[in-house]
Chain A
Amino acid sequence: MAISFQLFFLELFYTTNAHTNFNSNSSSSCGSSQPAWLKYIYPLNSQKCTTLVLHLNMTSPTVYPLCVEQTTGVVVQPQLFSVPRNEDLKEMLESNKESLKLEAMKRIVGLIAKGKNSSELFPAVVKNVASKNIELKKLVYVYLVRYAEEQQDLALLSIRLFSVSLALRVLSSIRVPIIVPIMMLAIKEAAADLSPYVRKTSAHAIQKLYSLDPDQKEQLIEVIEKLLKDKSTLVAGSVVMAFEEVCPDRIDLIHKNYRKLCNLLVDVEEWGQVVIISMLTRYARTQFTSPWTEGATFDENNEKTFYDSDSEEKKEQTEAKPYIMDPDHRLLLRNTKPLLQSRNTAVVMSVAQLYWHLAPKHEVNIVTKSLVRLLRSHREVQFIVLQNIATMSIQRKGMFEPFMKSFYVRSTDATHIKTLKLEILTNLANEANISTILREFQTYVKSQDKAFAAATIQAIGRCATNISEVTDTCLNGLVLLLSNRDETVVAESVVVIKKLLQTQPTQHSEIIKHMAKLFDNITVPMARASILWLMGEYCERVPKIAPDVLRKMAKTFTAEEDIVKLQIVNLAAKLYLTNSKQTKLLTQYILNLGKYDQNYDIRDRTRFIRQLIVPNEKSGALNKYARRILLAPKPAPVLESAFKDRDRFQLGTLSHSINSKATGYQELSDWPAVAPDQSVRNVEVIEPVRNPSSSHTPYHKSDSESEEESSEESEKTSTDSGKSSSGSENSSSESESEQKKKKKTKKAPQKKSKPTAVTTPSFGPVKTYELLHHMTGKGLSAKYHFPRQPCLYEPSMVAVQVILTNSSDHSLEEIHIGERSPAGLNIHCFNTIERLEPEASVTVSMGIDFSDSTQAANFQLCTKENQFSVSIQPAVGELLMPSTMTEQDFTKEQGKLLGMNETSATITMATANTSSQAISKQVLSVANVGVVSSSQNNFHRFAGRTVSSGALVLVSLELKESSSALLTINTEKSVMASMLLRDLKQALTQA
Chain B
Amino acid sequence: MIHSLFLINHSGDIFLEKHWKSVISRSVCDYFFEAREKAVDPENVPPVLQTPHHYLISIYRGKLFFLSVIQTEVAPLFVIEFLHRVADTIQDYFGECSEGIIKDNIVTVYELLEEMLDNGFPLATESNVLKEMIRPPTILRSVVNTLTGSSNVGDTLPTGQLSNVPWRRAGVKYTNNEAYFDVIEEIDAILDKSGTTVFAEIQGVIEACVRLTGMPDLTLSFMNPRLLDDVSFHPCVRFKRWESERVLSFIPPDGNFTLMNYHVSSQNLVAIPVYVKQSISFFETGPCGRLDITIGPKQTMGKTVENMMVTIHMPKAVLNANLTATQGTYTYDLTTKVLVWDIGKLNPQKLPNLRGSLSTQVGVPKPEDNPSLNIDLKIQQLAISGLKVSRLDMYGEKYKPFKGVKYLTKAGKFQVKMLCTAHFSTNWRSEYI
B23 to chain A, nearest CB (A): 7
- Give chain A residues whose Cβ lies under 8 Å from the Cβ of B82: 271, 346
Q: Note all chain A residues with C-beta closer than 8 A to B149.
A: 98-99
CB of A349 within 8 A of CB of B77, answer yes
Q: Which residues of chain B from 66 to 93 have a CB within 8 Å of any chain A CB?
A: 70-78, 80-84
Q: 1/0 per residue B269-291: CB within 8 Å of A?
A: 00000000000000000000000
Distance from B305 Cβ to chain A, minimum over Cβ atoms (Å): 22
Query: Are the CB atoms of B249 and A737 closer together than 8 Å?
Result: yes
Mask: chain B, 7-38; 1 = CB below 8 Å from A; 0 = not: 00000001111110111001000000000000
Interface contact B433-A473, CB-CB below 8 Å: yes
Return the contact of B73 from the options A106, A196, A234, A665 (Cβ within 8 A). A665
Q: Do the beta carbons of A747 and B215 come within 8 Å of each other?
A: yes
Give complex CA distance A843, B245 in Å: 9
The complex places the Cα of A49 from the Cα of B157 at a distance, in Å, of: 8
Contact status B75-A135, CB under 8 Å: no
- Contact A405–B199 (Cβ < 8 Å): yes
Report yes or no: A345 in contact with B81, Cβ–Cβ below 8 A: yes
Residue from A110, A238, A443 whose CB has the most chain B CB atoms within 10 Å: A443
Which of A82-90, A377-385, A621-629, A970-978 lies on the face that meets chain B?
A377-385
Minimum CB–CB distance from A79 to chain B (whole Å) comes to: 16
Q: Evaluate whether A110 and B46 lie within 8 angstroms (CB atoms) in the complex, with A149-B22, A343-B258, A473-B432 already known.
A: no
Of A384, A472, A657, A664, the residue contacting B72 (CB under 8 A) is A664
Measured in the bound complex, the distance between the Cα atoms of B431 and A447 in whole Å is 21
Judged by a CB distance under 8 angstroms, whether B324 is at the interface is: no
Contact A743 B73 (CB under 8 A): no
- Chain B interface size, under 10 / 10 to 19 / 20 to 34 / 35 or more: 35 or more
Chain B residues whose C-beta falls within 8 Å of the C-beta of A98 in the assembled complex: 149
Does residue B299 face the partner (Cβ distance < 8 Å to A)?
A: no
How many angstroms between the C-alpha atoms of A372 and B59 in the bound complex? Answer: 20
* B331 in the interface (beta carbon within 8 A): no
Name which residue of chain B comes closest to A138, CB basis: B153
Could you tell me if A739 and B164 are in contact, using CB atoms closer than 8 angstroms? Answer: yes
* Contacts of A303-359 to chain B: CB distance below 8 A: 338, 341-346, 348-350
B107 and A106 contacting across the interface, CB-CB below 8 Å: yes
Interface contact A381-B81, CB-CB below 8 Å: yes
Q: Give Cα distance in the complex from A341 to B84, angstroms.
A: 19
Is A938 close to B, CB under 8 A? no
Asked if A197 CB lies within 8 Å of chain B CBs, one says: yes
Is B247 an interface residue, CB under 8 A from the partner?
Answer: yes
Report B-chain residues with C-beta under 8 Å of the C-beta of A238.
Answer: 121
Contact of A109 with B369 at beta-carbon distance under 8 Å, contacts A723-B240, A744-B215 already known: no
In Å, the complex CA distance between A744 and B396 comes to 7
- Cβ-closest chain A residue relative to B263: A373
Which segment, of A499-507, A647-655, A928-936, faces chain B? A647-655
Q: Which residues of A contact B43 (CB under 8 A)?
A: 379, 414
B221 near A831 (CB under 8 angstroms)?
yes
Residues A743 and B417 in contact in the complex (CB < 8 Å), given A115-B14, A115-B26: no
| Residues of chain A contacted by B70 (CB below 8 angstroms) | 654
Stretch of A16-24, A56-64, A203-211, A536-544 lying at the B interface: A203-211
**Also in contact, A414 and B258, with CB within 8 A (given A114-B15, A378-B84, A384-B77):** no
CA distance A359 to B154 in the complex (A): 46
Q: Are A173 and B238 in contact (CB under 8 A)?
A: no
Q: Which of B176-184, B226-234, B351-359, B399-407 contacts A (4 or more CB under 8 A)?
A: B226-234
User: How many angstroms from the CA of A341 to the CA of B261 in the assembled complex?
Assistant: 9
On whether the beta carbons of B232 and A341 are closer than 8 Å, the reply is: yes
- Rounded to whole Å, the gap between the CB of B368 and the closest CB of chain A is 6
Chain B residue nearest to A453 (CB atoms) is: B369
Q: A658-B55, A723-B240 are in contact. Are A204 and B166 (CB under 8 A)?
A: no
Report the Cα distance A367→B302, complex, angstroms: 38
A interface footprint on B77-113 (CB within 8 Å = 1, 0 otherwise): 1101111100000000000000000000011011100
The CA-CA distance from A156 to B373 in the complex, in Å, is 64
B107: chain A residues within 8 A (beta carbon): 106, 109-110, 139
| Given contact pairs A113-B106, A234-B162, A384 touches B76 in the complex (Cβ within 8 A) | yes
Residues of B within 8 A of A381 (CB): 77, 80-81, 84
B17 close to A113 (CB less than 8 A): yes
Q: With an 8 A cutoff between CB atoms, is B333 at the interface? A: no
| Residue in chain A with minimal CB distance to B243 | A338
Q: Which residues of A contact B122 (CB under 8 A)?
A: 271
A844 pairs with B44, CB closer than 8 A: no
Please indicate the chain B residues that have their CB under 8 angstroms from the CB of A862 in the complex. none
Contacts of B154 in A (CB 8 A): 134
Identify the interface centre among A380, A408, A743: most chain B CB within 10 Å of its CB: A380
Flag the segment in B136-144, B341-349, B379-387, B421-429 that touches A: B421-429
Q: Nearest CB to that of B226 among chain A residues?
A: A834
Q: Is the CB of A442 closer than 8 A to any CB of chain B?
A: yes
Type the 1/0 row for A134-147, where 1 means its CB is closer than 8 Å to any CB of B.
11101101100010
Q: Is B388's beta carbon under 8 Å from chain A?
A: no
Q: Is A675 an interface residue (CB 8 A)?
A: no
In the complex, whether B315 has a CB less than 8 A from a CB of chain A is yes
A248 to chain B, nearest CB (A): 10
Count of A-B residue pairs with CB < 8 Å:
296
B326 CB-CB contact with A under 8 Å: no
Q: Write out the residue numbers on chain A whose beta carbons fall within 8 Å of the beta carbon of B131.
A: none
Residues of B within 8 A of A581 (CB): none
- Among the 9-residue stretches A262-270, A515-523, A556-564, the one with 4 or more Cβ atoms under 8 Å from chain B is A262-270
Map CB proximity to A onto B155-172 as digits: 1 under 8 Å, 0 otherwise.
111000111111000000
Cα–Cα, bound, A660→B49 (Å): 12
Interface flag for B50 (CB, 8 Å)? yes
- Does A438 make an interface contact (CB < 8 A)? yes
By the criterion CB–CB under 8 Å, are A379 and B60 in contact? yes
Would you give the 0/1 interface string for B193-208, flagging 1 where the beta carbon is closer than 8 Å to chain A?
0000011000100000
Residues of B within 8 A of A842 (CB): 244-245
Residue-wise, chain A 460-484 has the 8 Å CB interface mask toward B (1 for contact) of 0000000000101100110010000
Partner of A369, one of B47, B78, B230: B230
Q: Are B249 and A446 in contact (CB under 8 A)?
A: no
Nearest-CB distance from A589 to chain B (Å)? 38
CB closest chain-A residue, reference B81: A346
Taken together as a complex, chains A and B put the C-alpha atoms of A786 and B47 apart, in Å, by: 51
How distant is the Cα of A341 from the Cα of B229 in the complex, in angstroms? 12
A134 and B151 in contact, given A654-B75, A658-B48 (Cβ under 8 angstroms): yes
Cβ-defined partner of A654 (8 Å) among B73, B155, B426:
B73
B152 at the interface (CB under 8 A from A): yes
Which of A274, A342, A408, A448 sits near B199, CB closer than 8 Å? A408
Residue contact A412 to B374, C-beta cutoff 8 Å: yes
User: CB of A864 within 8 A of chain B?
Assistant: no
Chain A residues positioned under 8 Å from B157 (CB to CB)? 49, 164-165, 197
In the complex, A793 Cα to B249 Cα: how many Å? 12
Say which residue of B50, B84, B156 sits within 8 Å of A658 (CB atoms): B50
Question: A369 CA to B266 CA in the complex, in Å?
Answer: 12
Asked if B321 is at the interface of the complex by the 8 Å CB criterion, the answer is no
A415 lies within 8 A of B44 (CB): yes
Known A-B contacts: A102-B151, A408-B199, A443-B417. Give 14 more (CB < 8 A).
Answer: A115-B26, A134-B151, A238-B121, A267-B164, A369-B229, A385-B77, A410-B190, A411-B372, A654-B73, A662-B55, A662-B72, A663-B71, A792-B396, A831-B221
Nearest 5 Cβ contacts at the A-B interface: A664-B72, A135-B151, A135-B153, A380-B47, A739-B164
17 pairs, CB–CB < 8 Å, chain A vs chain B: A99-B146, A102-B151, A113-B110, A135-B153, A138-B114, A196-B162, A241-B1, A345-B81, A376-B188, A412-B413, A416-B46, A438-B429, A663-B73, A739-B165, A740-B217, A831-B245, A843-B244
Which residues of B line the A interface, CB within 8 A? Answer: 1, 14-19, 21-23, 26, 39, 41, 43-44, 46-48, 50, 55, 58-61, 70-78, 80-84, 106-107, 109-111, 114, 118-119, 121-123, 125, 146, 149, 151-157, 161-166, 188, 190, 198-199, 203, 214-215, 217, 221, 229-235, 238-241, 243-245, 247, 249, 251, 258, 261, 263, 266, 313, 315-316, 365, 368-370, 372, 374, 395-396, 413, 415, 417, 426-429, 431-433
